[in-house]
Amino acid sequence: MRFEGIKTHHLTDLDEEGLKNLATSWGPFQLMGYKAIQLDLNVIDLRDDEVAAETGVAWIKKEYGQFLNKGKFKDAFHYHNTGERFPLSGRSRTHDPYYVSNGIKFMKYFEGRK
């Protein structure tokens, strides 16, 4: 099982609010608070619009930019939500089963608004 670099010592001194902050998504890209650990930030940094935008873009580029560059948007949306590319079975593993299809739908909508 993988824990994205989170170790026990990262959690030891956190109170309930601190744990909630790690389990909450922040900023324009809705990065989970626990991503701050691997990004060497504090969760509060993800609440700052400018830092969150810059950090989010850098994280996306590093984590799944290859899917975006190749136009593999189903894989990109699924990776953003689950950390895995879209399953070959064709069944999404996202909490919201429409997360990927809604993302594609919104891309098409905003493409037409240029």
Q: How far apart are CA 32 and CA 78, in angstroms?
A: 15
Domain positions in the chain:
1-63, 71-114
Closest by CA to 85, choosing from 95, 73, 69, is 73
DSSP annotation of 85: P
- pLDDT of res. 1: 45
Which CA distances in Å does 20 have to 11, 33, 83, 91, 100? 11, 8, 20, 29, 25
CA distance 110 to 46: 25
In the prediction, which pLDDT does 3 show?
A: 73
pLDDT digits (tens, 9 = 90+) for 61-86: 999 999 999 999 999 999 999 999 99
Mean pLDDT of the chain: 92
Task: Give Cα 45 to chain centroid, integer Å.
Answer: 15
Supply the pTM of this predicted model: 0.81
